[in-house]
Amino acid sequence: MKHATTLKKPRHFTAKHTDADNPPWSEEMLGPPTRKKGRRPQRAPTKVSTTIRLDADVLAFFRARGRGYQTQINDVLRRVVKRGLTTRSSGR
């Protein structure tokens, strides 16, 4: 069985010595700080993040239609709500 080894600094290592081929980074080399780009918060928070379980075939149907499948699912559910079909027919 092999043991993992950890690299350690040499005993006589000092930060005072610099390598001409590998100088330390300067502020000029790094440049100005940049902000991480990503998704911004919603302008008007109208949607809520949630988790929902769907049958695999239903999800496959919407995903096969391409980008925006979550929006398509939301649109279908919105139409059902507008029709007033939110009550269960099984009587539960």
The 3-state secondary structure of the chain, one letter per residue:
CCCCCCCCCCCCCCCCCCECCECCCCHHHHCCCCCCCCCCCCCCCCCCCCCCCCCHHHHHHHHHCCCCHHHHHHHHHHHHHHHCCCCCCCCC
- Contact by Cβ (8 Å): 18, 24: yes
The per-residue pLDDT of the chain, averaged, comes to 80
Find how far residue 10's CA is from the centre of its chain.
40
* Tens digits of residue pLDDT in 8-36: 766 766 666 667 788 788 888 888 888 77
pLDDT reading at 51 higher than 90? yes
Terminal C-alpha separation, the chain: 61
